[in-house]
Amino acid sequence: MADQYAHSGEDKRPTETPAIRWEEPPEGPVLVLLDQTRLPAEEVELVCTDAPALVEAIRSLAVRGAPLLGIAGAYGVALAAVRGFDVDEAAAALAGARPTAVNLAVGVRRALAAYRAALAEGGDGRRAAEAALAAARALHREDAEASARMAGHGLALLDELLPAGGHRVLTHCNTGALVSGGEGTAFAVALAAHRAGRLRRLWVDETRPLLQGARLTAYEAARSGMAYTLLTDNAAGSLFAAGEVDAVLIGADRIAADGSVANKVGSYPLAVLARYHHVPFIVVAPVTTVDPDTPDGASIEVEQRAGHEVTEITAPQVSVAGAGGGIAVAPLGTQAYNPAFDVTPPELVTAIVTEEGIVSPVTSEALAELCARARR
Ligand SMILES: CSC[C@H]1O[C@H](OP(=O)(O)O)[C@H](O)[C@@H]1O
C-alpha cells in the first residue's frame, strides 16, 4: 500500500503539558490534569482541589488510561489528606470511579496504606499526608521507569518475531504518554521502534465511540514524527487481509490470573483477526495491571458507559446539539450498547510484555509467576 499518509516531523514530546502533575501553590496543594477530552484541539488543564473533582475527571475521561488512573488515584488520596478531607471516603470514591482498570484501585490502595501506616506509627495528619504523597510520587516514578523498560522489551520482541526491516504495527485506543508516568505502554514500543528506525508504519484504529485513537494516538504519533495512518475500526479486517499488518500492539486495563485481557472495546475482534491471519497479538502493560485476585475473564467487571457516547458525536470542536452534548448521529431516543472494554482470552494472546520481561507463550506457569510479581 502506498505510503501516502507518511508523516515526517521531529520527535517532540507528545504534548507540551504533562498528563498529570502535583503542584503546591500558596493557596494549597492541587492536582493538575491535562484535560484529554479537549485534545487534540487544545491543551486545557483541570485543577483538582479535592477528590470529588478528581472522581468526575476520571469518570469523564479527562484523565484516563490504566497506569495513569493508578497514579491519579494515589495523588487523589494524598490530596484529600493534605487538604483535611475524609481520606477513607475519598479513597472509596476514587477506587470506585471506574471499575475495569485495576490500576486505579492499586494506586488508591498504595497511598491509603502509606497514610494509615504513618498514623499507626504515631504520625500526625500532616505526617500521614506526606506519606500518602510520597507513595503517589513513587508510583509515578515507577510507572515512568516501567514504561521505558516495556518499550525495550517490546521492541526486542518485535525484532525477534518479525522479519528484518520496518515493522507495520496496528494499535487500538491510546497507550502513550497520556496514559502513563512515562511514554506509555504499547505506544511506547512503537515509539522505540520509530526511534530505532524500525517502524515502517503505525496503523491507528480510531477507536469508537470516544475516538481515543483518532484524537489522542494520532496526536501523539504526529508529534513523534513517525509514519502513521488512521483507520476506522471496521477497516482493520481489510488491512489484515491485504497483509499490511505485521503485529498488533495493545495496552490493557486488567489482566486476570488466567491471562484474560480486558482492554478497550474492539481489542477482542483484533485478537481474532490476528489469530486468523497468523499475526502476533502483543499486550503491553505494567505489572500493576495484572490482577491475581480476578481469576478469569468472566470475573472482570466491564464498564458500561452512557448510550449517548454512541448515538452522538462529541468532539471538542462540535457544538452542543444532542442530549449528551454532541451532535446526534442516531434518531433521538435510540438505545445504544456501549461497553467500554472487552475481554480477550489467553489463547489468543501471543505475548504479554511487562517491565519485568516477556511472557510468551501465556502458560499457567508463566502467569503464576506474573501474579506472584503483582502481589509484591
Ligand atoms: C494502557 S492503559 C490505556 C488503556 O486504557 C484505555 O481505556 P480508557 O481510554 O477508557 O481509559 C484503553 O483500554 C487503553 O488500552
If one residue of 212, 217, 342 were mutated to test the ligand 1 pocket, choosing by the most ligand atoms within 8 A of its CB, it would be: 212
Ligand 1 atom nearest 210 alpha carbon = 9
Question: Which residue's CA is the closest to the ligand 1 atom numbered 7?
Answer: 65
Q: Is the peptide bond before 361 cis (omega within 30 degrees of 0)?
A: yes
Q: How many whole angstroms from 359 Cα to the centroid of ligand 1?
A: 21
Interior CA angle at 265 toward 260 and 268, to 5°? Answer: 45
User: How far does CA 179 lie from the centroid of its chain?
Assistant: 4
Distance 366 CA to ligand 1 centre (A): 24
| Amino acid (1-letter code) at residue 114 | A
Q: Buried (b) or exposed (e) across 121-137, using 16+ Cβ within 10 A? A: eeeeeeebbbbbbebbb
DSSP of 136-167: HHHHHHHHHHHHHHHHHHHHHHHHHHS-SS-E
Give catalytic status of residue 253 as yes or no. yes
pLDDT in tens, 133-145: 999 999 999 999 9
- Residue 339's beta-bridge partner residues? 304
Q: Are 194 and 224 in contact (CB under 8 A)?
A: yes
* High-pLDDT (> 90) share of the chain, %: 87
Confidence of residue 68 (pLDDT cuts 50, 70, 90): very high
- The ipTM is 0.97
Provide the pLDDT for residue 320: 52
Give the residue whose CA is nearest to atom 15 of ligand 1. Answer: 251
CA of 121 to the centre of ligand 1 (A): 37
Residue 250 CA: nearest ligand 1 atom is 15
Ligand 1 pocket list (CB less than 6 A)? 61, 64-67, 173, 175, 179, 185, 212, 250-251, 253, 263-264, 340
Question: Binding site annotation covers 315?
Answer: no
In angstroms, rounded to a whole number, what is the distance separating the alpha carbons of residues 286 and 151? Answer: 11
User: Mean pLDDT over all residues of the chain?
Assistant: 93
Least reliable range by pLDDT among 184-193, 224-233, 323-332, 355-364 = 323-332
Residue 186 scores a pLDDT above 90: yes
Among 75, 90, 83, residue whose Cα is nearest residue 125? 83
User: What are the phi and psi torsion angles at 34 (to 5°)?
Assistant: -80, 120
Q: Whose CA is nearest to atom 3 of ligand 1?
A: 65
What pTM value is reported for the model? 0.94
Residue 151 C-alpha from the chain's centroid: 15
Alpha-carbon distances of 62 from 9, 54, 179, 225, rounded to whole Å: 27, 9, 11, 25
Mean pLDDT of the 298-317 span: 90
Burial tier of 347 (Cβ tally within 10 Å: 0-12, 13-18, 19+): exposed
* 304 in a labelled binding site: no
How far out from the chain centre does Cα 25 lie? 29
d(CA 253, CA 101): 4
Beta partners for 264? 341
Is there a binding annotation on residue 338?
Answer: no
